[in-house]
């Protein structure tokens, strides 16, 4: 964050110099919802097309009322009336047609986060005119990869997503080895800020939110207050496809009194199942995990542990997300897991290396987030050649973590055979990514955005464009 350096110039008023110990408003404490019974059910988008290889759905963005706290009706922005929006389910290779209708009072688009869509379908201002209030657009693409992806606007993302516009798109691979799960569920994590007395939603943007990104005080799991208990059978394996749809909140996931095995990442299956104690999920990232509660009449808890993503930012208290409540029935034995899930080549031999430096500076008394010293839209366009593999050295020159996201292409952290599209770049650290600029049906030629997925940072300038040429 270069606090010392910028303050040393002595031209920045103290209140604006963002020395967080002194000038940021305090983080507001997270509400701890009582455990209550519930479900993780999310509506599924209705496939209107009889062709088994075509998934054709209608998605409407509009203002609706919902209830985040019991008895408290609040207005949100939603896809097809629910937060999260309906899950779009497809098989790898299916054509997905989305009839999108904008019934909001402002422009919006849909971006298919992580799906390697043709350039014209990416939903950014670079490739399409925003869909105006009352307007429509047809998204039409083939889903090339299996995995857990998601969709959200790419216009005023910080506001539109905070208000509830997000949903999951899941692509299955029928030839993948079975995981022996009894249940597969989506788990979309978010947070909102509510007034603790009235329960009303609060739209807020103060110095802390601009600097660190908005963090709410009510954590949502599938649009419901967290800590719902779902009934389970001891020993049964459940697949949870988790998406972090929050503007800025990191979730450091642990499973208390249960087991957790990671099987998928941003870009689909891992090479092999990975037993793990902890998964850090930054905004934009996904994790597919298998969970079990091993013992009858006990409860396992998926919990978000505190994670300091900058000095004095990030959760300070644990938040219980979901409880898996085992009945008294005897435990069942789930079938053994396959040793291998898929084969992922390790990318090597990049054509070139380029450096992107994440930074920040004061401009007109406003905190601006930068890439190579410039803020979007003045960040120089990166031009690359299709079919190359490039090494992107991401230098985080600030005192806070940034989740780096690239549209349209997948990448690997150098030396790690795992497909990613969003990755945490810890404060003052450097990460080498190998970016695969694949040449795909429907065309990957054109302009693609890359940005920090803390949405206030993205809107505050930490975004650039990659132009892929033939
Ligand atoms: Cu979720 Cu520009 O991305
Ligand atoms: Cu994206
Ligand atoms: Cu950031």
The Cα 171–Cα 153 span in angstroms is: 20
Tell which residue, 280, 265, 242, has the closest CA to residue 145: 265
Residue appearing with tokens 């997948």: 410
Q: What are phi and psi of 407, to 5 degrees?
A: -80, 150
- Nearest-atom number in ligand 1 for the CA of 407 is 2
The Cα 195–Cα 83 span in angstroms is: 19
Does residue 451 have its Cβ closer than 6 Å to ligand 1?
yes
Reading the block at residue 346, the tokens are 């390790």
Does residue 284 have its Cβ closer than 6 Å to ligand 1?
yes
Reading the block at residue 448, the tokens are 């693609």
Does residue 457 have its Cβ closer than 6 Å to ligand 1?
no
pLDDT of residue 463: 98
Q: What are phi and psi of 367, to 5 degrees?
A: -70, 125
- Nearest-atom number in ligand 1 for the CA of 463 is 2
**Nearest listed ligand to the Cα of residue 152:** 1
Q: Which three-class secondary structure state does DSSP give residue 428?
A: coil
pLDDT one digit per residue (tens) for the chain, 470 residues: 332 222 222 223 333 344 444 478 888 889 887 788 888 999 999 999 999 999 999 999 999 999 888 888 999 999 999 999 999 999 999 999 999 999 999 999 999 999 999 999 999 999 999 999 999 999 999 999 999 999 999 999 999 999 999 999 999 999 999 999 999 999 999 999 999 888 889 888 888 899 999 999 999 999 999 999 999 999 999 999 999 999 999 999 999 999 999 999 999 999 999 999 999 999 999 999 999 999 999 999 999 999 999 977 776 789 999 999 999 999 999 999 999 999 999 999 999 999 999 999 988 888 899 999 999 999 999 999 999 999 999 999 999 999 999 999 999 999 999 999 999 999 999 999 999 999 998 899 999 999 999 999 999 999 999 999 99
For β-strands 95-102 and 136-142, DSSP reports them as antiparallel
- Nearest-atom number in ligand 1 for the CA of 451 is 2
Q: What are phi and psi of 270, to 5 degrees?
A: -75, 165
Q: HSE, CB side, 13 Å, CA atoms: give it for residue 390.
A: 21
Task: Quote the ligand 2 centre to 405 CA distance (angstroms).
Answer: 7
**Nearest listed ligand to the Cα of residue 109:** 1
pLDDT of residue 263: 98
Instruction: Return the residue whose CA atom lies nearest to atom 1 of ligand 1.
Output: 113
The Cα 161–Cα 151 span in angstroms is: 10
The maximal CA–CA distance of the chain, rounded, in angstroms, is 69
Task: Quote the ligand 1 centre to 133 CA distance (angstroms).
Answer: 21
Does residue 252 have its Cβ closer than 6 Å to ligand 1?
no
Does residue 405 have its Cβ closer than 6 Å to ligand 1?
yes
Q: Which three-class secondary structure state does DSSP give residue 429?
A: coil
Does residue 165 have its Cβ closer than 6 Å to ligand 1?
no
pLDDT of residue 36: 82
- Nearest-atom number in ligand 1 for the CA of 284 is 1
pLDDT of residue 11: 26
Task: Quote the ligand 1 centre to 311 CA distance (angstroms).
Answer: 25
- Nearest-atom number in ligand 1 for the CA of 154 is 2
Does residue 111 have its Cβ closer than 6 Å to ligand 1?
yes
Does residue 233 have its Cβ closer than 6 Å to ligand 1?
no
Task: Quote the ligand 1 centre to 235 CA distance (angstroms).
Answer: 37
Does residue 303 have its Cβ closer than 6 Å to ligand 1?
no
Task: Quote the ligand 2 centre to 115 CA distance (angstroms).
Answer: 8
CB 398 within 8 A of CB 1: yes
CB 303 within 8 A of CB 256: yes
Does residue 224 have its Cβ closer than 6 Å to ligand 1?
no
Contacts of 256 (CB under 8 A, 6+ apart): 300, 301, 302, 303
Q: What are phi and psi of 390, to 5 degrees?
A: -115, 150
Task: Quote the ligand 1 centre to 70 CA distance (angstroms).
Answer: 32
**Whole-prediction pTM:** 0.94
Task: Quote the ligand 1 centre to 416 CA distance (angstroms).
Answer: 23
Q: HSE, CB side, 13 Å, CA atoms: give it for residue 329.
A: 12
- How many angstroms separate the Cα of 385 from the Cα of each of 141, 352, 432? 22, 11, 19
pLDDT of residue 185: 96
Count the residues in the chain: 470
The Cα 280–Cα 420 span in angstroms is: 14
pLDDT of residue 24: 83
**Nearest listed ligand to the Cα of residue 370:** 3
**Nearest listed ligand to the Cα of residue 452:** 3
The DSSP code sequence of 289-340 is: EEEE--STT-EEEEEEEP--SBTTBS--S-EEEEEEEE-SSPPP-PPPPPS-
Tell which residue, 379, 373, 315, 360, has the closest CA to residue 456: 360
281 has which bridge partners? 251
CB 108 within 8 A of CB 89: no
Does residue 154 have its Cβ closer than 6 Å to ligand 1?
yes
Does residue 286 have its Cβ closer than 6 Å to ligand 1?
no
Angle at 418 between CA 153 and CA 447, to 5 degrees: 40
Task: Quote the ligand 2 centre to 133 CA distance (angstroms).
Answer: 23
436 has which bridge partners? 389, 410
Instruction: Return the residue whose CA atom lies nearest to atom 3 of ligand 1.
Output: 113
- How many angstroms separate the Cα of 26 from the Cα of each of 29, 192, 209, 312, 365? 9, 17, 10, 9, 21
- How many angstroms separate the Cα of 32 from the Cα of each of 196, 225, 318, 381? 11, 9, 9, 45
């Amino acid at each position: 964050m270069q606090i010392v350096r910028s303050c040393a110039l002595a031209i920045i008023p103290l209140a604006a110099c963002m020395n967080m110990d002194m000038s940021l408003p305090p983080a507001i404490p997270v509400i701890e919802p009582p455990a209550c019974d519930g479900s993780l059910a999310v509506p599924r988008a209705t496939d209107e097309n009889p062709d088994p290889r075509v998934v054709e759905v209608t998605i409407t963005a509009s203002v609706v009322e919902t209830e985040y706290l019991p008895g408290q009706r609040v207005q949100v922005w939603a896809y097809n009336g629910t937060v999260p929006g309906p899950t779009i389910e497809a098989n790898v290779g299916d054509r997905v047609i989305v009839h999108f209708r904008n019934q909001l009072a402002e422009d919006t688009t849909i971006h298919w986060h992580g799906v390697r869509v043709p350039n014209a379908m990416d939903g950014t201002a670079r490739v399409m005119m925003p869909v105006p209030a009352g307007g429509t657009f047809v998204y039409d693409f083939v889903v090339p990869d299996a995995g857990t992806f998601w969709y959200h606007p790419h216009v005023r993302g910080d506001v539109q997503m905070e208000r509830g516009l997000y949903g999951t798109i899941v692509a299955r691979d029928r030839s993948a080895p079975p995981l022996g799960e009894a249940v597969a569920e989506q788990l979309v994590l978010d947070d909102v800020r509510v007034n603790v007395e009235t329960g009303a939603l609060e739209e807020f943007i103060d110095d802390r939110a601009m600097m660190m990104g908005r963090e709410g005080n009510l954590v949502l799991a599938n649009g419901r207050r967290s800590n719902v208990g779902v009934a389970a059978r001891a020993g049964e394996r459940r697949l949870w496809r988790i998406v972090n749809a929050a503007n800025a909140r990191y979730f450091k996931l642990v499973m208390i009194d249960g087991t957790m095995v990671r099987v998928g990442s941003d870009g689909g299956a891992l090479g092999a199942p990975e037993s793990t104690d902890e998964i850090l999920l930054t905004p934009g990232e996904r994790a597919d995990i298998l969970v079990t509660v091993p013992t009858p009449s006990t409860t396992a808890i998926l919990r978000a542990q505190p994670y300091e993503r900058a000095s004095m930012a990030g959760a300070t208290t644990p938040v219980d997300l979901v409880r898996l409540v085992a009945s008294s029935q005897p435990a069942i034995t789930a079938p053994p897991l396959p040793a291998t899930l898929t084969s992922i080549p390790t990318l090597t031999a990049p054509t070139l290396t380029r450096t992107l430096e994440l930074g920040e500076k004061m401009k007109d008394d406003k905190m601006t987030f930068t890439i190579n010293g410039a803020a979007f839209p003045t960040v120089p366009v990166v031009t690359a050649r299709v079919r190359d593999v490039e090494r992107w050295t991401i230098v985080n020159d600030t005192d806070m973590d940034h989740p780096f996201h690239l549209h349209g292409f997948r990448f690997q952290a150098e030396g790690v055979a795992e497909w990613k599209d969003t990755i945490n770049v810890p404060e003052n650290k450097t990460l080498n990514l190998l970016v695969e600029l694949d040449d795909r049906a429907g065309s990957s030629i054109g302009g693609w955005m890359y940005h920090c997925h803390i949405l206030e940072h993205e809107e505050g300038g930490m975004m650039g464009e990659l132009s892929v040429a033939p």
